[in-house]
Structure 1
Amino acid sequence: MPAHVLILGGTTEARRLAAVLAARPGVRVTTSLAGRVARPGAVAGEVRTGGFGGADGLADWLRAHHVDALVDATHPFAEAITANAARAAAATGVPAVVLRRPGWRPGPGDRWYDVPSLAGAAEALPALGRRVFLSTGRLGLAAFAHLRDLHFVVRSVEPPEPPMPPDTELVLARGPFTVAEETELLRTHRIDVLVTKDSGGEATAAKLTAARELGLPVVVVRRPPLPPGVTAVPDVADVLERLGLSPA
């Protein structure tokens, strides 16, 4: 049974896992947050904030704090962090698990356009619409900054930093949102195309349902691949099994 588990967090699944582990007698859990959100949600157990200094810094932290298991439960698009975690685990011999909620898949009535990157999404947009709901996160707006003939509605928990598209309307709000709320937003702002990352999960899927019901095209940025030799599990129960813990 692991005594000290480090969770690379920031996702709903990470908070759920921390709550489960913190309730286990004899298990110490520390969640590491990147610090990009000023007011993150409550997390059970210990919390640290900020980077480690790359794979070597993370490996040093694992050794110094006697970590027995590492769980990468970061956002599916946190490519650099996942790569660093894999290298640090290999360097230290600490068992590692990647927790990733399953990606989204289109259903009947969906008009999805898969692209491999934010740059690919920007390239696809002019042919699909002029009023864009851009829900790719506040850190990726630079990829769309050159599109001067489109109107962007950007929703974010905190104000984004430039560069960003010149014709941008900012909506500050924290989810999750209902289908009715997403439908109202799309109608109010007269959106004719949605751009989203394939984050997966139910918490942010309502916008996809709203787009389907309104017949809007959706540009979906697909996830980057995991590092070679790294596989992911889809839920907390699978992580517990990997750690040798019973579900409850």
Structure 2
Amino acid sequence: MSFLNHLEELRWLLVRSSIAILITSVIAVYFNQFIFDVIIFGPKQGSFVTYQFFCDIAQRFNLDQSFCNNELPFVIQNRTMDGQLSVMIWTCLTAGFIMAFPFILWEFWKFISPALYEKERKYAKSFIIVSSFLFFLGVLFGYFILVPLSINFLANFTISSVVENQIDINSYISLVKTTSLATGLVFELPIIIFFLAYLGLITDAFLKEYRRYAYLLILIIAAIVTPPDVISQLIVSIPLIILYECSIIIAKFITKRNLQNEVKQV
């Protein structure tokens, strides 16, 4: 195919993906009350499952019990006339993107499949299933772990008792959406490493060389969003460290296979 034909294929990929997102967004609009009352504003409630979990751990091991509050010390406000309408539209679009993610992956696979060998095209189903699973797992990890930890930290952080936390609705929902989506994409790291290693752009040696810096960054993030106790930091750090180690294993396997293919060709 010519370069212009590739652009045409890419254009239709984007069109079909956009239509899928719009359809799933309409579904999200229909369930908007559940999405906002139960999902979006769930982490604002002191009874949220994550707070109860960390509260039980804190009481059992006699640790910091900041998660045992019945109510978080802030209120959510809307400060513009079209604020709530705008929030509903963008939140439903985000929910639509999350629901349509497997279809978007399928479109992406169809776009790159002509450049693959026949035996590699057989992995389409595995690619969709694994990538979707990692994405949804990341979204859940972000929503149930990072979002409530961040909200609890920021809600209880204060520079003076004079200041009251009256949070704008866009600020609150942006934190929930951005954190959940970003974590979902971060959990795609093994898939990204697979393709980069397959193209020869990255190796397991490179990942091992920068492992200490990756671990340091993970620990810093965990220390920021969690209370000052080791257990909470480990709950956040361990999944990300496992993800990085899995990426090293994948890169090692692909790099070794590439070398074997080069030897066979010689």
> Same fold, TM exceeding 0.5?
no
Q: Which is helix-richer, 1 or 2?
A: 2
Q: Which is strand-richer, 1 or 2?
A: 1
TM class, shorter-length: under 0.3
TM-score, length of structure 1 as denominator length? 0.24
TM-score, length of structure 2 as denominator length? 0.23
Larger CA Rg, structure 1 vs 2: 2
